[in-house]
Structure 1
Amino acid sequence: MKIGKDLVTGLDRYVTSWKSTDDPAPGEYVDLVDSHGYPQMLLFRNSSIVFSSGPWNGLAFTSSPSNKPTLYYTFEYVINQQEIFYKYELKNDSMPTRVVLKPDGVIEQLIWIEKSHSWLLYLTAQLDNCDRFALCGPYAICNINNSPPCDCLRGFEPRYPQDSTADWSTGCVRRTTLECNQDGFLEFSGIKIPDSRNSWYNETMNLEDCKKMCLADCNCTAYSDLDVRNGGSGCLLWFGELIDIREFSQNDQNLYVRVAASELDKTRRRKRLALIVVMSAVVATFILSFLAWFSIKRRKRRRGSEIQNDDIELPLFDLVTVTSATENFSSANVIGEGGFGPVYKGILPSGQGIAVKRLSKYSGQGIQELKNEIVLISKLQHRNLVKLLGCCLEGEERMLIYEFMPNASLDYFIFDPSRKAPLAWKNRFEITMGISRGLLYLHQDSRLRIIHRDLKTNNILLDSDMNAKISDFGLAKVFGADQVEGKTKRVIGTYGYMSPEYAVDGKYSVKSDVFSIGVIILEIVSGKRNRKFRHLDHHHNLLGHAWLLWTEGKALELMDECLKEPFSESQVLRCIQVGLLCVQKLPEDRPTMASVVFWLGNEGLFLPQPKQPGFFIERNSMESTESTDKVCVSNSASITVLEPR
């Protein structure tokens, strides 16, 4: 696929969305190469920018959280006097791929899986709310794990501090006025490089000359390498305000932002203080390290065996068996990719299908999450929990072996127009009951009291009979008999399914999981994602929309429009009511899972009236104006990291 601009003829090659999934007329969204300043990919909704790829750094666009090459295709970005274009080419022609710009503006990359004869979502460009263009305003940075997600760059402060808890559209201003020749630069790493429409670039300069050129021009606000390959080369200068910056821990391109000399002095003082603290810690650590040496050496020897302790009741698979089952971990057998690493489909010599979850050395998770998942699932047995068959712990390999789920995950069905149509209400209700029973078992009936902490449609797997099974216990926590609540400074999970108290304060309990299942129930009924929900009459998420319909006596309008077969209205209404009871703002107002299962499974019961749901706040609408005519290349597709199957 090739998108770009012919500088000789002036013609654009771009992608446009359909008007709807059923109407191929041009829609509101257009994805194209913008040639102002240093070229970048921009996604427009009519004439408003809603997403920017960021500049190309030689390996990838800076909106990508990783510069590592993919298994299936190569990227190329070309800028010369004749044309500017971006394209990708398949590494393996036997695995077709396509890019689709969906009617809702999401850009998706899909690959064709021959064995299942279906398209599989491989990547999505827009990862989360921080990908909304210029969400945090000038000189601010977005971190989706913070609440609120916006904060000022070092050396800057909110333009209007009184609005900084909710509205960041005005961004930040300098704490100290620039003095031109007396200024310096602060270094920022692990970020998406700012919008480059007001920039200048040179491919041959080095970074030091780039710095001198920026310092000599009082209007220059930042500089960076143009290309990060081979130690960095080229020069990219920004003029004017810096916008559309977000944090990415794996991005290799550093940004140097102009600040007053006094701000550099403050930074140096902080570094000196930090150095004193570090040196003191080093001395103390040196003393303790000798005492701990034998313990550390012992732990290294037991790296594999520390997982194989008496608390684990699982068989061990040898590496040869797993390698053979997955055809030497063939890329054609990859069925998912999560924070843990790739997931492979395999077939044992007995003919049994397996899913192999292989810990990657680049994984965001590690040995502790692996051990956590093994210890927990080895002690859990329930028809609505995915079955862990064993593990492989040979050499440096760390793998979990699960039963294979031929129908993938719940989100694979209910959010896809072509797949959810055959999913009748009877199936959806049974899936809802299955998830509820599985969660009740975790909270109350298992040998351990488990808080899942990452319950979402991606982690609900479906077997050949469409029975729901809860999976992925890497983030789960075990509670003692008398423990009611836990708290963490490291909030990990999925926005849209997190309860307010966990997302904001790091507090988790059984009621956190109850909130998550409430979101899932409403998504099952409506066939729509909570976080991506859009409505013409308001800007609430799915929870807010369901609440409005409930208070207006129109709750049945929440039902997925593709559900045409006969169904029990009272059963649907009961599911909606239970879902709303589960997502109430305060944890103490939410029911226990015992109540949820009882209410869902029994007709004619009197249920409490739900109170206002969590996150009942209208989101800012995206301004839309008239669209401009463009030349279209194709109409299809979006880019997201897959969860394990």
Structure 2
Amino acid sequence: MAGKLKIHGRLLYNMWLHLLYSSLLLITTAIIVSTAEDTSTFQSIADGETVVSTGATFELGFFSAGASKSRYVAIWYKKIPVATIVWIANRDTPLTGSSGILKVSSPGILVLVDQKNTTVWSSNTSSSAQNPVGNLVVIDGNDHNDTQKYLWQSFDYPGDTLLPGMKLGRNKITGFNWHLTPWKSPQDPSPGNYTYQLGPDGYHELIVREGSVIKYRTGPWNGIQFSGMHNLNSDHTNKYGFVLDDDEEVYYGYKLLNSSILSRLALTQDGLLQSYTWSDETQGWVLYLTAQVDICDSYGLCGPNGACSVENSPVCGCLEGFTPNFRQDRDLVDWSYGCVRKTPPSCSGDIFKKYSGMKLPNTEQSWYNSSMNLKECEMMCMNSFCSCTAFANLDVRDGGRGCLLWFSDLIDIRYSTGSGQDVYIRMAASELDQGSNTDTNAKTSKSNVKKVRIIVTSTVLSTVLLILGLTLLLYVWKKQHQKDGKPRPSQKEDMELPLFDLAAVVRATNSFSNDSKLGEGGFGSVFKGTLKDGQEIAVKRLSKHSTQGLNELKNEVTHIAKLQHRNLVKLLGCCIQEDEMMLIYEFMPNKSLDFFIFDQRKSMMLDWPKRFDIINGIARGLLYLHQDSRLRVIHRDLKASNVLLDSGFNPKISDFGLARSFAENETNAKTKKVVGTYGYMSPEYAIDGFYSTKSDVYSFGVLVLEIVSGKRNRGFTHPGHSLNLLGHAWMLCTEGRSIEVLDTSVGDSSDPHEVLRSIHVGLLCVQRNPADRPSMPAAVVMLSGEGSLPQPQKPGFYSERDLNELEVDPSSKAFSANEVTFTLMEAR
């Protein structure tokens, strides 16, 4: 049998390369490319001793990745200037010598051998009838008809790239699995730790895993799109499809609506799914779509029976009829434990609550039938006793058809406007909201409804009467005590915080001795103390000469006493006695962040992993303040000296004396009393008095660049220009030299990818226009590597001169010493 090697082009299907060998003598014609004389990274096979057709979209040849000397056989785009690999033959077994030979041997097997004639890689001969573009195939050389089955094709073995016409799925007969794996690194194309493939169990959906851990899933296909990919509606370049053949294959794929467009889907080294199109105008690849777009795309973020919505704060909540599964050792912002039912289903007479616009739950524990209608699906679920927890249509077209049932906790649900669908979730009839029974299939009788109404009405009336009676008694009691000359509740009681005795604090701090002093700020001095039981504390003592006073102290207590998060400093209590006003905090043995990063010797104690953990910890603390706390809090004075470090160098945001809280429907405010610290304040706040969560984002961006560089934004100097740290970092970014921002004391501990990403996120956060800055949820996602990064615009306060102009206003009563907080009485 003869064999033929063929490459299909995107635009010209008549472009093909074949290697013929005699079926009688079994003589093979080899493609030989010597790499000993290579002077460029990429070399087309046509440049060597080969016979190859030209004019196609793709080329086959040998290449090296980055600075690596290892050689691979690959396919890449031919007519674009950006070298883009779409398929590699020998990902796991690179050539290490000076030459390689790719040949076709009997019976139609591709073989790659090194200079010692040792087999490095070979193909198998699994058949396929597919005729896609950009594909390398081996066909029977005795028949030149393109409609025949291929002996082997590259599209059956995708790497990190999915091209139009390729499959993601599996062959049910052979068990063959089409899936994507990313490169391990830019210099190493061997498979990384992520996979993108069809889920092995239950109904079919595509899943991104890191090792065996699910990181993202698309949701099941509903006949139009995946229920969890809410950005496919905006794609006017590609047409997506899902083929479900119960007897043979199930797979996902897409095709171009315009054949002149170059398009590819890639799985990045961070596990992100990103679709790119080629731009002739910019001569580069343009990010068209990203599958993971926000924090709710993180798999299982809200735990079992929890639902995620980016429009809510916090983003996680429980479904109706469920309550948070709190535990004593659980962080209140950690929803991984999910929700549990308030009332278990009775197994008969239950109802199904309809939720619309939802990403359907994980389908690993599901059952499906394509012929049932929705009513039959409901009856099937109802008759499955208590084991069936929810049901939905398989296909939403033409009014809906098919049945999908769940038999366990509901995992990874989100509100998905534009792509979600209806799902019916089982609950006990007693949990039914009678006002919403138009969206349910209730099985309760009219008599039960009347009984419930009577009980609820009588309970409400009794409660109201009880509250009125207690209120009247409390009023009379207060009046009587005022007549008797007894004092009203004091400011101490208003604090709702443990009060420390002055004598105990004086004893703990050794009478506020200099040996106990940790530092000082705008509020006053901070002292270390040890209580009688051995607990170490930090005492923040109001200075008699401080411009801050009781209002700032009460403001700090009001905000931080109600906030609990691992990245916020814990307030233990306060002391207001005689002429003293003090706040008592947990003690942080490693002092503040500025104590380390701005000291050439101490900064060596913060290697890159510690710095990156600190950046992420600060980001999570701000995310909690802005979104997940009971109050939407704007810190307004985030800086290195207000980030404390515990014994493990975990960061904790402190000093809430200048903080302000927003109501749920508020997003920004304006003040004539501008407070903050030069170098960390956003332009719109320092100049016009406008502040919002984006003001804190700006401060966070400054802090990120200071942590990476080990340099202060204020007072930064460079022999080549007069820019501050922000301007310096932005200039290097535009020149492709961002890595030069990194503090040299970090040494070899740095991860270049994390460093460059941190710098990029920092520059995005300090852009002049607040609307251009990311929110803290978005910044957290960006830092973790989830999402594409746009190019940052010029920072606000680009040079030192910008900041100096703020200090020369004679009408302002401002002061700034090093990094001490200042107050501007009138905004300019």
TM-score (norm 1): 0.49
| Structure whose alpha-carbon radius of gyration is higher | 2
TM-score (norm 2): 0.38
